[in-house]
Structure 1
Amino acid sequence: MTIVTQADRWLIDRSLQVNALWAKSGTEEAYLHLPQHLIDTACVAEWLWDNWVSAALKTALSRTWSLNEDHLRRLYVFLAGTHDVGKATVSFQRQAENPPSKSYLLAEVETAGLSLAWTLGEGTQKLPHGTASALILRGWLQKWGIGKLQAVRVSSVVDAHHGFATDPKLLELHQRTIPNYPEAWASIHAEILDTMAELTDIEDVLDAQLGVGGPYAAATQLMTGLVIMADWIASNEDLFPYRNDQSQVERVEAAMAAVQLPSPWQSISAGIDTKLQFQNTFGWPDYFEVRPVQDAAVQIARSHESPCLMIIEAPTGEGKTEAGLAAAHVIGEKTGAQGVFVAAPTMSTANGLFERTTDWVRRSSQSGEVASMYLAHSKNQLSEQYQALRFSGIGSDTLDHGSVVANQWLSGRRKGILADFVVGTVDQVLMMVLQARFSMLRHVGLAGKVIIIDEVHAYDAYMSQYLYRTLEWLANYGVSVILMSATLPPAQRKDLAAAYASQLVTDPDLEKLNTSAYPLISTVSAAGIATLPIASRPTDLEASLTVLDDSLDTLVNQVKALLVDGGVALIICNTIARSQAAFDALSSKFPGDVDLHHSAFVAAHRSAKEDLLREMLGPQAHRGSGRPDRKIVVATQVAEQSLDIDADVLVTDIAPIDLVIQRIGRLHRHRRPDSDRPLLLQEPQVFIRGIQVIDPLPEFDGGAEAVYGRKLLLATMAHLPAVFRRPDDVAELVRNVYAENPAIPTGWSEAWREACQKASAERFSAERRADAFRFPAPGAASEMRYLFDRLHSEPKPGEEEVGNAQVRDAELTVEAIAIQKDEYGYRPLGSDEEIQIGSDVNYGQALALAAHSIRLPARLTRRGSDFDEVIGDLEMQTPGEWSESGILKGQVALIFNTEGFASAGRFTLRYDLERGLEVVATEAVQS
């Protein structure tokens, strides 16, 4: 018999005192009583377990709790049904005293004979109801026979249902409060817990818990996330109205029908024919052949019966994304996964993957099934593809495929990751191990999925620490992970494998990963570590590499000589300042033929520029039909991964060899007829800038050293080839540059030693900063409170470095919405749509404004006094009516005049549609 069918009887049987307590304030005519909210939450939990929680997530819970699925179901419903027992306290009930208009909530309490006098410890120290719930449940569990430590761990689930564990100091302050509560209130606590225990048949579950050592934090994280889901749904007055004239069955059915949560992914059978699988799920025609790396990834997925880490290393253009999705299909089908998370390094790459992934989800889902999609980054409201899904109807796709929707409830910063399929930035995965409120929802969202992370070579020492810890937690939950890279240093391959193996293998043989094979697929599972070399495709690019003098005159003359008969040149610079300088120099010689791309453009302008560039330089455009006769594209690192463009010649600033190879991936990227490329550019050519002195010792541009460090640049210079062959040279070049003791010219010895010392110190510093807000390893987190230590503590005196609560090692920056103002109103910068000052902003206008956000240079907010002044200035510039807009609330504005100038604090900025944003003047700091 289900809980929901017994709920009406449970409510009827509650005592006068229990029924007198309020849980949600409404009006004098209708407010929610505590027992109604508790049974609503228990019934939602039961529905979620039976209809939404995937087999993979249930397996993860069983793995961490050491309980079978039936026991877990009952425990979940019990904890959901008792999560707010702490509202049966004087502290909570007396919240109705202020404002006085809520005093009607206390009338029933007093009529029931319950004293509202402060009890021991309450009047002087706050007692949050989550804390009270934990203390009440802890005492009840101990009376049952559960040991104190275990009772603390189990009760932490109800304690943290507001997103974080209570500060241990506060818990200690109230150690005696609940045990000394008045008898009338203690009877209420016992009634709620005893009857909910009977209703959920929890006795043998608690008996089973007596025999295990847990639950550790990994177990309580997942359970808490599920309790929060049930509580949030049950707390929605639109779904569970305070005035109720329905049976509990009708009430729950109506609510969950309104939420429309899709069931876990029901995929079509992947089958045993890989080519047929690719045809069915990617829409490939019969003449397309599955590439070796794609076939190998699928075969490996089929061969693993337990969770595994798969590291796919292959050149650009090998179809790694399709390989990862196809392997995830096989794994998901075997494990009963909720869905898949596809993580990319940037918002641009995530946007590019979203449409491809959405189409794959439709094709890989059974006909008639509905899957929920979410685009996980801060600018998803600007994605037309994602917004279209939010308003699409269920079942609107063809009968041959499943349907895809962006579910309204499964959206937003905290709930979006709970959708079946998520495409987003890698930050959204790494935040799994960031000490932050509601981290448990992220754990629920990831623990039931297959995780795909692309471009894993692109993460610095700081981010890598988060990635390693994330892999530990995912392995602990039994989540399969697929990592992809075109250029992965061997040491990083080992570190990634070691992190995942730490939860599965006692003594992993990491030496198996010492191989020069390329392409390569490495795997880690309970069975150990294995590598599979993949047949390499024939050489598809042979490019000459030439070092250029770093002067702008040399750049202009070289480009002029190269483009004498036209063609497309891509110039990649390491900093925005260098890209703007190169743009200025080239524009004066090639007016109208030069485009600039970097991150200091307004979001809408950058997106439009990139879309136009993809259109002009994509695979479908040809000379005389969309592809320009002559074009010079100057860009920063945004061109490394985000832009699918094809250049005839590449000029790049010096960078670590793996990133140089990534940049070469934009050179002769697409197969083209000879007529598309001028005669001088028929053969691929690469020119390297940013080296100010070559002999006797390389000296690099300051920006390159600041971004990448001298050590890697020296190692790259020492192994820079005269000719680069792809894929033949990729693995050896990366291995040689990233070797522990790379071959370095004798004359560089002292400089190399100093560079190594500096790199080691910077890495140690980055790791220390990362550790400040990073979760401990799963085995070291015995209690949930250890996952929130940093939220309760201040930096220790004398601590030199304090980590920021973020997963990227970046300086604190501010984002503003760029607007232009005149005497009549204001408009998004560069737009014609004027908004009257003081008038309400409609939805379309709000979206247009949000699309014109821009990140301000870090130098504006680097100093504490500058930060305060800049923020204050921006707040003064922000139209007051934005506070009434759901999209614009909390945003700040930066006002530009008609000449493109703006001010923030002591800084004067200029914005140009061609050059982007730059600081043009800075007032001296007042002493």
Structure 2
Amino acid sequence: MADSAAVAGLLWDHWLPRNVREMLAGPLPGGEDDGRRLCVWLAGTHDIGKATPAFACQVDELAGVMNAAGLGMRTRKQFGDDRRMAPHGLAGQVLLEEWLEERHGWTRRASGQFAVVAGGHHGVPPDHLQLHNLDAHPELLRTPGPSEAVWRRVQGELLDACAGAFQAEERLAEWQRVKLPQPVQVLLTAIVIVSDWIASNPGLFPYFPEEYSRGEAERITAAWRGLTLPAPWAPAEPRETAAELFATRFGLPPEARIRPVQEQAVTMARAMPEPGMLIIEAPMGEGKTEAALAVVEVFAARSGAGGCYVALPTMATSNAMLPRLLDWLGRLPGSVVPDDEAGAGFPADPPAGEPHSVLLAHAKAALQEDYALLLRSGHRTIAAVDAYGGEYAQETGGARSASADLVAHQWLRGRKKGLLASFAVGTIDQLLMTGLKSRHLALRHLAMAGKVVVIDEVHAYDAHMNTYLDRVLSWLGAYRVPVVVLSATLPAARRAELAEAYTGSSTTAVRDATGYPLLTAVSSGSEPVTASPAPSGRRTDVALEALADDDAVLVDRLATELADGGCALVVRNTVDRVLNTAATLRERFGPQHVTVAHARFLDVDRARKDAALLRRFGPPDSDGRSPHRPRQAHIVVASQVAEQSLDVDFDLLVTDLCPVDLLLQRMGRLHRHPRGERQSDRPPRLRNPRCLVTGADWQSAPAPEPVRGSRNVYGAYPLLRSLAVLAPHLGTTDGPDEPVRLPEDISVLVQLAYAESEEHCPSPWAEALGTARARHEEDRAKQQRKAEVFRLDGVRGPGRPLIGWIDAGVGDADDSPAGRAQVRDSRESLEVLVVMRRSDGTLRTLPWLDGGRGGLELPTGAVPSARAAKAVAACGLRLPYHFSFPEEFDQALAELEELYVPAWQEKESHWLAGELVLALDEECRTRLAGFFLTYDPDEGLMVSRDEPSKKEEGAAR
């Protein structure tokens, strides 16, 4: 208890960001001094529930000593299952409440809001039923009879001693009148959890301190030195002009000019009464990410946030963002350490420029090269270190590494603690789980409360995810967390919902704002501010054309368009359509001229293909040329993976019909970069950007009918609404076709397609549209109801204890398939690691892996080498929808579990334990749950009910 209290004080002095300290201090009469004392006292009393017979009976010889001292106890066997009704956290809450009420005159409600911290320090605050059950079994807290008074006296003595030692005694009379807001209760709980975990680390705090001659102060100092938690980021507010700020933070060349959107974002961030939410709507390629990071620096300096979290749609987009974040961090000036006296007597704050902790937040982060390097450089022993550098205790592990500017800190690793790192980039799931009732949710709240949160591609989330996102935003608003929202295609209604969720109040000004680009700034207690800066001058007129959904028509058209060379992107809405189209195109153009990209690849192959796409079709070099851009005609057939966050550029776009906002995103891959003067380096036929829209029966009456796969993915209603607003551009209405003007038409088309007041559709479509709308609304309501099951409640009024805060939750939730399934409206899918089984029965890594990783032996009687195990871990594959239906899921799971290698699981291979393994034969084929699976490193996974012939496989390849 004393160790936990000491750690809490150190965390307050040296680790908690300023905005978190201010949030905790806000409701307390003594301000930050009270905040520190309260954290220390709650950490010091959190384990008082161990001073009960229900807990102390667990070790017979120790229980006997207590018995002899008058603390009568039953044995563990005598208690039986009743002990489960008095976990020591719950018992501690009850004891602390009684002490406050009986000795200090507090009311039950006043005591509950403080004592619930002890009750929730193992991750789940108790509910009312648990409190009622324990109240019915007082023998679990004190043995009845003569020893009851002894138990009561000892518990009171311990709590009296804590109040004196942790300087809370003289403040209790003032605190009993305080109404703690629920967000403050959550943060206090999280700080106690972190303090408890650190104090429970035997490497930092040896179990038998009397073996060491140093005093308690030296013991605490040694532990803190050994832990070396990086201090929070504490930037000074940048004083440069916006142009100077961008030049220094992003390494822009002297001739580069800041874009109006970027300049306006910095200006608005500086002008807000207090940091709040800034929504940036701007075209693709306008530098929204750089604008967001510049705003993060301004917001952090003004609010006291100690870092940032950048949330993206997928693991792939998160991986791509990490190097950009690291580059920005490397250009930041040294942190400014606050000058205060709060930590007198404790180790000094680290000097400015000390390392900052960094996290890549998703399940396969260790496979990303930049992050893997941070992990290796940050690997070290966590052990107490005295003032002269000697270690009190040594854990096995790697040697201590030299300081670096950025570290993946050893202690801040793992699914529970990772987000506590100062800087993190990861999937949107990690943010959405802040609104999911789950164990140790308080830690996730502490992590987000201390950061500026950036949400990229906010338009990309469905009703289920938005239900979670809105609740998360309401909590972020309560914590006064600054938020930056980015989108190229955001409907006005959704913009208003985001602002309302964050501020708790609605305003027509946000909903009715016009202009594009558009920036909207909102914060609690002030009127929203909007601005529409001038476009950057980048402008493209895209000619749209409806194309019949026939592969033969597509082949002939591409043959004509690519006669003089050039590159085309064909985007299909399902992987099956990708594979079928690619096979047909190869027959005409040859395999070397057709590439596929979709989500049905091994992780390692997906990363390789993304890198190849960027190398061949990415931005030109500084001289305006792209040395790897193919000279002959080339076609990339892709699923939605090419839709966002890949900076690729094509001469011609062919796309399945999709919602208009996504269609515009796809257009962002068309003529994305200049290729010579007036695109003169492109083939003559392709110098004017064109988009051919297919994936629909254009002759169907009364309305065009999208193909079945697209309807399954997006629903008929959004597709029909998109068709209606695109009609003037597609030649489906009378009059000349109008090009889509980018960026001018982006917001116009999106707002028309998503307008709630009217549907801009031809009158003959009315019946079909009405049917589709009814189905759409039913599906949205179903998604929202599903999300409500485990969604966290909203913030309740001050003074209400967190009792039952995550009642009926999901238990543990992390970045696993099951965890992601809670915040995404998707069937639970199976993820496997893919290996090869040779004809002799031995297992090997896949032969085509580069870097010497291919064909490595995978022994079944022992843990594979670290090199081989990591190579297998890089071959993760999420099985497609075929295996998501209940019957197929269960059958596939049962068959996969047959390949159970005890040595990999029971000996806890870091990379392989707990994973399902799919073994392919030497021809990369296997059967699973009645399906035939074939894998090709260039084509991905092919699934069929019937066994494919060699000829069919060859054609696919």
TM-score under structure 1 normalisation?
A: 0.89
In the other structure, the counterpart of 1:371 is: 356
Q: Is 1:163 matched up with 2:131?
A: no
Determine the C-alpha separation between the residues in 1 that align with 2:724 and 2:30.
Answer: 57
Q: Secondary structure at the match of 2:58?
A: helix
State the shift of 1:907 in Å: 3.4
1:682 partner amino acid = R
In the other structure, the counterpart of 1:787 is: 805
State the shift of 1:624 in Å: 7.8
CA pair 694-222 structure 1, distance change in 2 beyond 3 A: farther
In the other structure, the counterpart of 2:567 is: 568
Question: Counterparts in 2 of 1:430-829, with a 5 A limit?
Answer: 430-502=432-504, 508-525=506-523, 526-538=525-537, 540-591=539-590, 592-620=592-620, 625-629=627-631, 630-673=633-676, 674=679, 676-696=681-701, 697-720=703-726, 721=729, 722=737, 723-740=739-756, 741-779=758-796, 782-791=800-809, 806-822=822-838, 823=840, 825-829=842-846
Determine the C-alpha separation between the residues in 2 that align with 1:65 and 1:709.
Answer: 52
Determine the C-alpha separation between the residues in 2 that align with 1:202 and 1:922.
Answer: 73
Cα deviation code 1:532-555 (max 9, x no counterpart): 111123352111111111111112
State the shift of 1:247 in Å: 1.6
Cα deviation code 1:727-785 (max 9, x no counterpart): 11111111111111121101001111111111111111111111111111113794423
Q: Is 1:386 matched up with 2:371?
A: yes
In the other structure, the counterpart of 2:18 is: 55
Q: Secondary structure at the match of 1:549?
A: coil
Cα deviation code 1:168-225 (max 9, x no counterpart): 322211114447542222222112211111112213443233223x334322211111
Determine the C-alpha separation between the residues in 1 that align with 2:98 and 2:864.
Answer: 53
Q: Is 1:331 matched up with 2:347?
A: no
Q: Secondary structure at the match of 2:484?
A: strand
CA pair 871-365 structure 1, distance change in 2 beyond 3 A: farther
Determine the C-alpha separation between the residues in 1 that align with 2:105 and 2:589.
Answer: 82
Determine the C-alpha separation between the residues in 2 that align with 1:275 and 1:739.
Answer: 37
Question: Counterparts in 2 of 1:208-219, with a 5 A limit?
Answer: 208-212=174-178, 214-219=179-184
Which stretch of the first structure deviates more once superposed, 552-561 or 280-289? 280-289
Tell me which of 925, 934, 949 is aligned to 1:901: 925
Which stretch of the first structure deviates more once superposed, 381-390 or 113-122? 113-122
TM-score under structure 2 normalisation?
A: 0.86
In the other structure, the counterpart of 1:917 is: 941
- For structure 1, the 5+ residue unaligned runs are 1-37, 97-102, 395-400, 794-801
Q: Secondary structure at the match of 1:778?
A: coil
Q: CA RMSD in A?
A: 2.4
Q: Secondary structure at the match of 1:914?
A: coil
Determine the C-alpha separation between the residues in 1 that align with 2:183 and 2:18.
Answer: 18
1:158 partner amino acid = A
Determine the C-alpha separation between the residues in 1 that align with 2:329 and 2:125.
Answer: 37
Determine the C-alpha separation between the residues in 1 that align with 2:491 and 2:884.
Answer: 35
Determine the C-alpha separation between the residues in 1 that align with 2:762 and 2:49.
Answer: 70
Determine the C-alpha separation between the residues in 1 that align with 2:901 and 2:615.
Answer: 37
State the shift of 1:66 in Å: 7.5
In the other structure, the counterpart of 2:74 is: 117
State the shift of 1:593 in Å: 1.2
CA pair 44-173 structure 1, distance change in 2 beyond 3 A: same
2:883 partner amino acid = L
1:341 partner amino acid = Y
* Structure having greater relative contact order (Cα 8 Å, sep ≥ 6): 2
Residues 126 and 804 in structure 2, CA contact (< 8 A), matched pair in contact too: no
CA pair 241-761 structure 1, distance change in 2 beyond 3 A: same
Residues 272 and 521 in structure 2, CA contact (< 8 A), matched pair in contact too: no
Cα deviation code 1:444-479 (max 9, x no counterpart): 001011111111111111111111111110000111
Determine the C-alpha separation between the residues in 1 that align with 2:208 and 2:946.
Answer: 61
CA pair 792-750 structure 1, distance change in 2 beyond 3 A: closer
Q: Secondary structure at the match of 2:452?
A: strand
State the shift of 1:167 in Å: 4.2
Q: Secondary structure at the match of 2:898?
A: helix
State the shift of 1:280 in Å: 2.0
2:806 partner amino acid = F
Determine the C-alpha separation between the residues in 1 that align with 2:573 and 2:46.
Answer: 52
State the shift of 1:121 in Å: 11
Q: Secondary structure at the match of 2:688?
A: coil
In the other structure, the counterpart of 1:172 is: 132
CA pair 120-885 structure 1, distance change in 2 beyond 3 A: closer
Percent identity of paired positions between Structure 1 and Structure 2 = 38
Which stretch of the first structure deviates more once superposed, 728-737 or 65-74? 65-74
- For structure 2, the 5+ residue unaligned runs are 335-351, 380-402, 730-736, 812-817, 848-853, 948-957
In the other structure, the counterpart of 1:35 is: none
State the shift of 1:693 in Å: 3.6
1:456 partner amino acid = V
Tell me which of 425, 428, 433 is aligned to 1:426: 428
Q: Secondary structure at the match of 2:744?
A: coil
2:186 partner amino acid = Q
In the other structure, the counterpart of 1:855 is: 878
CA pair 852-47 structure 1, distance change in 2 beyond 3 A: same
Determine the C-alpha separation between the residues in 2 that align with 1:201 and 1:856.
Answer: 57
Question: Counterparts in 2 of 1:102-141, with a 5 A limit?
Answer: 103-106=60-63, 108-117=65-74, 122-125=79-82, 126=84, 127-141=86-100
Q: Secondary structure at the match of 2:914?
A: coil
Determine the C-alpha separation between the residues in 2 that align with 1:746 and 1:133.
Answer: 68
Residues 57 and 73 in structure 2, CA contact (< 8 A), matched pair in contact too: yes
CA pair 65-719 structure 1, distance change in 2 beyond 3 A: farther
Determine the C-alpha separation between the residues in 2 that align with 1:556 and 1:563.
Answer: 10
CA pair 776-694 structure 1, distance change in 2 beyond 3 A: farther
2:943 partner amino acid = V
Question: Counterparts in 2 of 1:247-258, with a 5 A limit?
Answer: 247-258=215-226
Determine the C-alpha separation between the residues in 1 that align with 2:28 and 2:824.
Answer: 32
Determine the C-alpha separation between the residues in 1 that align with 2:636 and 2:62.
Answer: 67
Determine the C-alpha separation between the residues in 1 that align with 2:653 and 2:883.
Answer: 33
Which stretch of the first structure deviates more once superposed, 748-757 or 270-279? 270-279
Q: Secondary structure at the match of 1:198?
A: helix
State the shift of 1:377 in Å: 0.8
2:320 partner amino acid = G
State the shift of 1:869 in Å: 2.9
1:635 partner amino acid = A
CA pair 131-118 structure 1, distance change in 2 beyond 3 A: farther
1:702 partner amino acid = R
Residues 448 and 479 in structure 1, CA contact (< 8 A), matched pair in contact too: yes
Residues 518 and 532 in structure 2, CA contact (< 8 A), matched pair in contact too: yes
Residues 363 and 402 in structure 1, CA contact (< 8 A), matched pair in contact too: no
Residues 464 and 787 in structure 2, CA contact (< 8 A), matched pair in contact too: yes
Determine the C-alpha separation between the residues in 2 that align with 1:88 and 1:657.
Answer: 63
